[in-house]
Amino acid sequence: MWQTDWDEKPREIGDIEKPRVSTLSPHDIGSSYCLYWVEHCIECALPDCFKVCPLYVARRDQKCARFKSGISPNWQYPGLFDYGAEIEFRRWGKLEANFGFGAMKPEQARSIDRIDRGVLRFLRPISSLFSAISPKLRFNGAYAVSRELLLQRFTRRRKDSFDEFVIEVWNLQSHSLRLVIECWQQGMKFRTSIQLEAGRTLQRIPAASMGIDLYGAFGMIRVYPENDAEAHLVFSWLDFVQYSRSSEQNALVPDDERSVQRANKVKCVIWDLDQTAWDGILGEQDSNAILLRPDVLRAMLALDERGILQSVASKNDHDNTWHVLERLGVAQLFLYPQINWEPKSISIQRIVASLNIGIDSCAFIDDSPFERAEVSHELPEIRVFTEADVPELLDRPEFDVLVTPESKQRRAFYASESQRKEKALEYGDRYETFLKTCQMEAVLFKPTEVEQVERCLELLHRSNQLNLSTHRYAREEFKQLLEQPNVLSVCTTCRDRFGDYGIVGFASVVTSREGAFLKDFVLSCRVAQKKVENAWFKFLARAALSSGYSKIYAPYVKTSRNGVLLNALLEVGFVETRKDDSGSFLE
């Protein structure tokens, strides 16, 4: 449900394609959790902020209006309710909903919402009349307290478990942004961000991966644009849902939207164990007698040597299984292993989110036709193989990757990143404060050694999210670029108190009479959102200025994955001077 109490006026419709039909129908839902989304501020410090905060804008109740016109029903974007919630975020604006309620059927949620909006239509003129006499006479505030108590009494008895947290949101702006989702319950339990291109974005997060108990201690969920961005969005779904068991679970996305586009190369292989990595079922035999299949062991070691990450998605008892992997000497190969009894698609989504890579760059190996079908249905972008494919797996072109000293250390780099994430959770929403404690250092230099050149070439081939041109150089073509006298070619290494990242980026700036042009910029996702790209852009701008160029130009080639780079360019001061469907020209 939505706090429409302070809706100021009818909304203007953004210019995006029609029809605005939700991917998910309430008929597909067995129940949803009662979340009541309200307007809030990231930097809230009541009551002093009303007097000293430069961003304070008075709402009708004199509280701070962090949304330009409140939360407004927009009937062109139906979802769980007959409308979508349209919001124009100001700086520091956030959505927030507390735990402490229960589950409802969709038709119950819709009925309660209609009653709530009817009561508000009756109360608004009365509240406005009394507020004119005294701002302290706020009928809306009294009703808000009563509403929360009634919702708790009505819903608390039903304690369903939920399959996913579903986010369907329409970005009414022409540029992309990132949306942060956080869960707090006696400290931060979950944090992620999703990329919002113009138009609709659908994101489904396994509820079990969020680490919260909706019926336990007090907690809350927060949603806000990253980097204090202003945003104009419409939410049609922002709910924990349990799918109807009478229909195919999650068979929700139209066929024309499930067209599969996979990355050229595999970055991570996720293994099943029983009847795949070893013979037999762990729970049905002596665990001390289990051995890895020879072909599997050879493949695991070769993948690690090539810098292809590995993990595990296995339905087994965790402690017993992990003991076997340690005894076999391969436990250290697996990052963020998921050994539990949940659907394997959920386990895979947890692994992918933790690694911060695309599902389309992963491969899953399992002997079971059922498990392969479940994963393929839920995650159509992933490559799926049988245990019989293992002997020839490494001969396939998607596993033929550049091997460098850097790539051989990739698993160690990601293990260090795991430590960083655990430490970051201690800082909660003070992420930039945490970054300062990391003592990150970057060294920029021209790649001259063979290993350095190969690593830069590998980055240009593998990286998608932070890649300006997405041009995949041939080896000789890249060497010629490095030798051109009018091209400044720079790569960077990074390290912090947790360890060394190695070479994580490459850039080339072409200079001519027309100006200085940023031809290539690519950065590993391992240092994404750590402000490395911001510092590097500023360095390149200073380098161009010292060479007599007052501006630096950047032709940005748009893909489905690199919108985050455009945001970084705009954040450090680049301005779009031209743009079309293929990308932008910035300076």
Q: How far apart are CA 148 and CA 587, in angstroms?
A: 50
Beta bridge partners of 234: 86, 170
Residue located via tokens 């919108």: 563
Through-space distance between the first and last CA atoms of the chain, rounded to whole angstroms:
43
Q: How far does CA 412 lie from the centroid of its chain?
A: 23
Q: How far apart are CA 267 and CA 273, in angstroms?
A: 20
What is 454-511 written as a DSSP string? HHHHHHHHH--TTBSS-----HHHHHHHHH-TTEEEEEEEEEETTEEEEEEEEEEEEE
26-247: CATH architecture:
Sandwich (2.60)
3-class SS at 146?
A: helix
Query: Which superfamily is assigned to 425-586 in CATH?
Result: Gcn5-related N-acetyltransferase (GNAT) (3.40.630.30)
CATH 3.50.50.60 fits 268-401, yes or no: no
Q: How far apart are CA 315 and CA 282, in angstroms?
A: 10
- List average pLDDT for each run of 10 residues in the chain, which is 587 residues long: 69 50 84 90 58 64 75 90 92 88 91 85 66 52 76 84 90 89 86 86 81 88 88 94 61 42 86 93 87 95 91 90 93 91 87 84 90 84 92 91 78 73 63 75 90 89 82 91 92 83 89 90 79 82 86 86 79 86 86
**pLDDT, position 504:** 87
Question: What is the DSSP code (8-state) at residue 388?
Answer: G
Amino acid letter, 480: Q
**pLDDT, position 408:** 78
3-class SS at 111?
A: helix
**pLDDT, position 372:** 87
Question: What is the DSSP code (8-state) at residue 274?
Answer: B
Cβ count near 391 (within 10 Å): 14
Counting beta carbons within 10 angstroms of the beta carbon of residue 16, is it exposed (0 to 12), middle (13 to 18) or buried (19 or more)?
middle
Q: How far apart are CA 496 and CA 501, in angstroms?
A: 8
- Domain boundaries along the sequence of the chain: 26-247, 268-401, 425-586
Beta bridge partners of 490: 507
The angle at the Cα of 230, spanning 225 to 235, to the nearest 5 degrees, equals: 55
**pLDDT, position 128:** 59
Tell me the HSE value of 59 on the side-chain side, using a 13 A CA sphere: 21
**pLDDT, position 217:** 87
Long-range contacts of the stretch 382-386 (C-beta < 8 A, 24+): 382/348, 383/262, 383/266
Closest CA to 567 of 235, 169, 222, 228: 228
Pair 532, 440: CB distance under 8 Å: yes
